[in-house]
């Protein structure tokens, strides 16, 4: 990173976590509760956004958490998070989650879920704080930014319409 350039690359805040799933996180069928996966993804997003912002962040919104395949007891769950988009005080973090049996390294990670988190950086007094801009370096970075803008427009439009309906 150039010292005079406040922008941070999408890779700056990247975080990957790996956790072994145990029976405590499972339902009676031996599948891991979706909420456990959400918690892991949220922790990943929190670490990514705090790194990018250089301080405390909170989860403002979570959408499009898609569960593609079940996770079982004994799977190692890997999360991969990175910043997709940055606004003034908020940023979107995309998290990809993969699972792999702990006892069989020949089986590659299976994509089990993906999620998009809106995180907001906070000052010590709890008010939103400006975050460093994002440096887009690759075609993938530009694609993620563009798609994050679409999600943001939908989120804000939905919120506005609901509030308008309540105040009508």
> Which residues form the interface with ligand COA (CB under 6 A)?
58-61, 87-90, 118, 120, 128, 155-156, 159
Query: Residue 109 or 128: which CB sits closer to ligand COA?
Result: 128
Which candidate, 83, 14, 71, 11, places its Cα nearest to that of 38?
Answer: 71
Q: Is 58 exposed, middle or buried (0-12, 13-18, 19+ CB in 10 A)?
A: middle
Residue 92 in contact with residue 154, Cβ under 8 Å? no
| Rg, C-alpha atoms of the chain | 18
CB of 121 to ligand COA, least distance (A): 9
CB of 32 to ligand COA, least distance (A): 21
CB of 143 to ligand COA, least distance (A): 20
Per the DSSP assignment, residues forming a β-bridge with 20 are 76
CB of 58 to ligand COA, least distance (A): 4
Query: Residue 91 or 99: which CB sits closer to ligand COA?
Result: 91
Query: Residue 44 or 90: which CB sits closer to ligand COA?
Result: 90
Residue 107 structure tokens: 């089986």
């Amino acid at each position: 990173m150039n010292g005079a350039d406040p922008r941070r690359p999408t890779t700056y805040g990247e975080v990957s976590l790996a956790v072994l799933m145990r029976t405590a996180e499972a339902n009676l069928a031996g599948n891991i509760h979706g909420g456990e996966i959400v918690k892991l993804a949220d922790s990943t997003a929190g670490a990514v956004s705090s790194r990018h912002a250089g301080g405390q962040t909170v989860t403002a919104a979570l959408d499009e958490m898609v569960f593609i395949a079940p996770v079982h007891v004994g799977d190692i769950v890997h999360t991969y998070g990175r910043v997709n988009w940055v606004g003034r005080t908020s940023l979107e973090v995309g998290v990809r989650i993969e699972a792999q049996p702990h006892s069989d390294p020949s089986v590659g990670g299976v994509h089990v879920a993906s999620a998009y988190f809106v995180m907001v950086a906070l000052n010590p007094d709890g008010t939103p704080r400006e975050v460093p801009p994002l440096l887009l370096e690759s075609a993938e970075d530009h694609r993620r930014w563009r798609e994050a803008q679409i999600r943001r427009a939908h989120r804000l439009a939905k919120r506005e319409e609901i509030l308008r309906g309540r105040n009508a």
